[in-house]
A and B are shown apart, each in its own frame.
Chain A
Amino acid sequence: MKNLRIIPRLDIKGPNLVKGIHFEGLRVVGKPESFARFYYENGADELLYMDAVASLYGRNSLLDIVKRTSEEIFIPLCVGGGLRSVDDIRKVLRAGADKVSINTAAIANPELIRDASHAFGSSTIVVSIEAIRQSDGRYECFTDYGREYSGVDAFDWARRAEDLGAGELLVTSIDREGTGTGFDLELTAKIASSVSIPVIAGGGAGSARHVVEVVETGMADAVCIASLFHYDTISRIAKADESAFAAEGNVEFLQGRRGTVSTTRVKEAGICAVKDELERAGIHTRRIPIPS
């Protein structure tokens, strides 16, 4: 039996869960711990925390949130954003993360993948590939949360990352990220078919149907989802837990629900709805009893 993994992705800026489009125009969505707990109780198979500003400032502010999360949530937690060295990775793992995701520092210094997988085991090291399709059809890797062009070809880099010891690849289409227009199936399928390690597809989920597509056509082994789940969760936990929303920052639009769904094509869907759709397509998933 192989059960497809559904991995909610939580982009974090300071104390807040944020979400953008193409990694830009980040808006506050709520408190990461509240969303993480909700996803845990509703059947998330793993969680991904991504520090949205760490690369920019060369720091990682996520450690406290990671520690609190890992003490009360017992599914695998992968953490990325701003990890520069084996020491940085060690700190995140000591805070309770089970895996780390690296992109910018690995492109700058590919040996980091080898060193880190040797120090912590391959299965702990997820190499994140954030790609933009070029006009000539090639895919280029971008670093620093989608801001910096690296000149590295995404397909070459995927194979190299595997050779260097990556345990999994997280493949995100920046073109599709936050848009809700569906995954980049070509990007995902080409990478998934060229490596023997699992590929997690990210960027573009706008409906449960898109998730089925990226598994069937994109050959993804796991799927990473942000907006689709966040917008669904906002409506479910907003009334129950006012404290889920940080009192500062760009939160007004949440209460009024202005500008969230209307700016993207994301339809709201929960983890259960996505897994139901996968099961209908004959794709197995892990199901747990959901609290009423």
Chain B
Amino acid sequence: MSAKPSNLRIAIVDYGLGNLFSVVNACGNAGIDAYITSSPAEILAAPAVILPGVGAFRDAMECLHRIDLVGPLRDYANSGKPLFGICLGQQLLFSESEEFGSTKGLDILKGTVRRFDNPRDERGRALKVPHVGWNLAVPPADRPDAWRGTPLEPHGREAMMYFVHSFFVVPDDPGAVLAMTTYGDQEFCSAVRNGGTYAFQFHPERSGTEGISFYRKVRDIISDNQNH
């Protein structure tokens, strides 16, 4: 196990939704010293921030507004420091979600959040929603090297990751797509990057040894960012 440099103390945002302990454990295993916080000042001062989350988009945005984290998270993202959104945390970074009509998101990444539309398998049978289980993330077809320098770099050209979700993101900018995944007859964007902001629909902290490789690369990205 690698040493834990003290300057890699990164903030995991707690806004009252989701199990943060899996993220803390995976960070610990990858040599990242992570702590849970809902303090705007601590988030703004952190060298890197993870925005996790499980649950409903609207509830999550209400929580973020209530504890006054919407502004600080936008300011943090504007600073260019590494920001990692995971699962619901990914979706929250976007402009709006169609869950329960329409709900405004953090608008750090431009695009919308949509629900699976009656996915079917290759034999035409209905697939269950939520999409729960392991699935492949692959780089966009036109940019096979898109993963270089991202947490997905150690996985080569495909990563088997654990998913639990009914909604997925549709970025306005196709160039922001970092990975695609197929569930039955529906292909969706499973990872996004814009500058220092990265977002993933899957749960790397629950994706076995591949997920640990992911967090080790997160550690390297934060470390490199510190040294520049």
Contact = CB atoms under 8 A, between A and B. Distances in A.
Interface string B54-89: 111001000000000000000000000000000010
A198 B130 contact: yes
A120 B25 CA distance: 19
A96 B121 contact: no
A112 interface: no
A76 interface: yes
A222 B133 contact: yes
Contacts, number: 108
Contact of B21 (A76, A95, A120, A199): A95
Given A2-B121, A3-B133, A71 B25 contact: yes
Contacts of B134: 3, 5, 45, 286
A258 to B, nearest CB: 36
B143 to A, nearest CB: 21
A93 interface: yes
A123 interface: yes
Contacts of A74: 22, 25-26, 29, 205-209, 211-212
A190 to B, nearest CB: 15
Interface string A118-160: 1011111000000000000000000000000000000000000
A199 B129 CA distance: 11
B136 interface: yes
B132 A70 contact: no
B132 A198 contact: yes
Q: Does more than half of chain A's interface fall in helix, strand or loop, or is it mixed?
A: loop
B162 to A, nearest CB: 6
Contacts of B126: 196
Interface string A260-292: 000000000000000000000000001010000
A30 interface: no
B17 interface: yes
B136 to A, nearest CB: 6
A240 interface: no
Interface in A80-98: 93-98
B196 interface: no
Contacts of B160: 286, 288
A221 B22 CA distance: 24
B206 A98 contact: yes
A116 to B, nearest CB: 11
A97 B203 CA distance: 14
A121 B135 contact: no
Contacts of A123: 54, 130, 132, 164-165
Contact of B17 (A45, A95, A121, A198): A121
B111 to A, nearest CB: 22
Interface string A95-112: 111100000000000000
A94 B22 CA distance: 9
Contact of A288 (B17, B25, B183, B208): B208
Given A3-B134, A74-B211, A120 B184 contact: no
Interface string A42-74: 000100000000000000000000000011101
Listed residue (B56, B59, B128, B183) with the most chain A CB atoms within 10 angstroms of its CB: B128
Contacts of A168: 132
A167 B130 contact: yes
B100 to A, nearest CB: 13
B17 A2 contact: no
Contacts of A197: 128-130
Interface in A17-39: none
B54 A124 contact: yes
A202 B89 CA distance: 32
B127 interface: yes
Interface string B121-149: 10000111110111110000000000000
Given A2-B121, A74-B207, A74-B211, A98 B130 contact: no
A40 B54 CA distance: 23
Interface string B9-21: 0000000011101
Interface in B141-196: 160, 162, 164-165, 182-184
6 contacts: A45-B162, A74-B26, A76-B162, A95-B21, A123-B164, A221-B132
10 nearest CB pairs, A to B: A121-B55, A121-B54, A286-B134, A123-B164, A198-B128, A93-B19, A3-B134, A76-B206, A96-B21, A5-B133
Given A74-B25, A118-B56, A286-B134, 18 more contacts: A1-B183, A2-B121, A2-B133, A5-B132, A40-B208, A45-B134, A70-B25, A71-B29, A74-B205, A74-B207, A74-B211, A96-B22, A96-B25, A122-B130, A197-B130, A198-B130, A221-B133, A222-B132
